[in-house]
Chains A and B, each alone.
Chain A
Amino acid sequence: MITFEEVSLVYPNGVHALSNVNLSVARGEFLFLVGGTGQGKSSVLKCIYREANPTSGDVVVDDWRLSTLPHGQVPFLRRKVGVVFQDFKLLRGKTVWENVAYALQVTGAGSRDVMRRVPRALEMVGIAHKSKMFPHELSGGEQQRTAIARSLVNNPLIMLCDEPTGNLDPETSSEIMALLARINSKGTTMVVATHNQASVDRMRRRVVRLVHGRVAHDEERGRYHVGLG
């Protein structure tokens, strides 16, 4: 589903974010990306949704070879790759319903489709009862559920989560992780960059540790401290 072929990424300011990363994620897999701040977790995610373009090497997502993907095709890639952030990135002027519907509407979906799929996504993440509220009226966990519903509504092949529980208390964090596991169990490939040691250790999924932009360790059913001795 996702393949990194010798990917190196140097940002315009000269920072070497990734060095010769080789990584392969199978369809339906659940992968934790761990490592300290600035070790390249976010950069890996950015390369998958084409926010960053590798300086060398190539990333293949489903059938898209991203180095040759024309700029005009990027929106279509992103409809198949849902992204969830630590700061939620919700549209403040829109209600929960509108935020989720928006991701569908920009794809040109008709109103019947919107009416059918938005409630389903809201129910899946357990936020249907707050659909008329604005983001600032919600708790952090509820905002993150809304963001997950938004990335879910287009039936993505892949979901990328960048520190999805970074702003949440431990209890809410476990709920969100459980929600991500449930979405993954329905077939969505899941890549989660996280510092949430408790969840990683409890869930025992594949863990990839990045150090200085390189894959330092890659272990099936790993723990948070994999590769740290």
Chain B
Amino acid sequence: MDWGKTHFFWAEVAQNFTRNATMALTAIGTVAISIIVLGVFLFARTSFNLVLDNVVNKVDIAVYLKDEASASDIDTMMRKLRADKRVDSVRFVSKQEALDTLRKRLAGQVNLGLINVNPLPNSFVVHTGDPTEVPALASDLQTNPNVAFVNYGSKVTDKLLVIRRVLGSIGLGVIILLLVATALIIYNTIRLTVFARQREITIMQLVGATNWTIRWPFVFEGLLTGLTGALVGLLVLWPAYQTLAPKLSLNLPFLPLNLADVSVSRIALELVLVGALVGMLASWLSVSRYLRPA
């Protein structure tokens, strides 16, 4: 690329930024505020989803086996379960282990030493990777001839899954609405900065600037405004997160939420992307309105 042209392009961008400083700063401030609001909601939604996931993920399937099931039957089932893609982990609990656990649990309350026969069955404790697979997997296992019965607290689990789905959709809806609102606010702000320079665009056209020569510096400025706004927003959000997050865990200890699991850097990246892309697109659209054929 010709140095003269490159230099011209960057000089245009820099000049527009510095000589329209008030306008540029207003736009950056508006973007920053929008990004802060969006950031808080993104964080809230991610944390909330993690809480719901943690609750639902605690669901296990207990598969109680018939006493007739032989060691090789059990072995075959174990292998089948391990091969099943839906299954995350399987643990075999023998009759003896179940009795030992029961003894420990009831120690001091009931004397199980009086019982000579072990009435408890062999069982598998199955954990699925995706909790929504639980009901289907449970009913599959029920059809196995070696299985006496399957228990996964179906009523509670089914409700939990519905609650998670509904709340998840509401959260997504709120985020989408907020994203649209953020985009519109940024778009309007940048549109105003372009509108203020409508006269400039007319003059550029008069002296024979092609549409692309006019458009590029604007588009790049939009990108810079969006990017800078988002970074300013993050500069506010980051210390706020550092200060408030530990207090959140401390004040809500009953919430099954590990803040370390919330990917803050991912949210930050999303915010920067939103700012930059919307800024760029907004400029593009705004300038194009003035570049229509005469």
Chain A interface residues toward B at CB < 8 A: 49-53, 71-72, 74-79, 83, 89-91, 93-94, 98, 102-103, 105-114, 150-151, 154
Q: Enumerate 6 A-B pairs (CB-CB under 8 Å) in ascending A order.
A: A75-B208, A75-B211, A93-B15, A102-B204, A103-B207, A113-B4
Contacts of B10 in A (CB 8 A): none
Chain B's nearest CB lies how many Å from the CB of A61? 13
Using CB atoms, name the residue of chain A closest to B3.
A111
B185-211 near A? 1/0 per residue, CB < 8 Å:
000000000000001101111111111
**Out of A89, A91, A112, A154, which one reaches B208, CB within 8 Å?**
A154
Task: Give the total of B residues in contact with A, Cβ under 8 Å.
Answer: 25
Q: Is the CB of A79 within 8 A of B4?
A: no
Q: Is the CB of B8 within 8 A of A74?
A: no
Distance, CA A52 to CA B200, complexed state (A): 19
Contacts of B47 in A (CB 8 A): none
Question: Main secondary structure on chain B at its contact with chain A?
Answer: helix
Distance, CA A187 to CA B137, complexed state (A): 90
Using CB atoms, name the residue of chain A closest to B207.
A103
Distance, CA A79 to CA B207, complexed state (A): 6
Contacts of B208 in A (CB 8 A): 75-79, 103, 106-107, 154
Using CB atoms, name the residue of chain A closest to B203.
A89
- Does chain A have a CB within 8 A of B5? yes
Residues A109 and B4 in contact in the complex (CB < 8 Å), given A72-B210, A75-B208, A75-B209: yes
Q: Is the CB of B207 within 8 A of A110?
A: no
Chain B's nearest CB lies how many Å from the CB of A137? 14
Contacts of B211 in A (CB 8 A): 72, 75
Chain A's nearest CB lies how many Å from the CB of B228? 20
Q: Is the CB of B206 within 8 A of A106?
A: no
Residue from B5, B8, B205, B211 having most chain A Cβ neighbours under 10 A: B8
* B:14-45 near A, CB below 8 Å: 15-16, 19-20
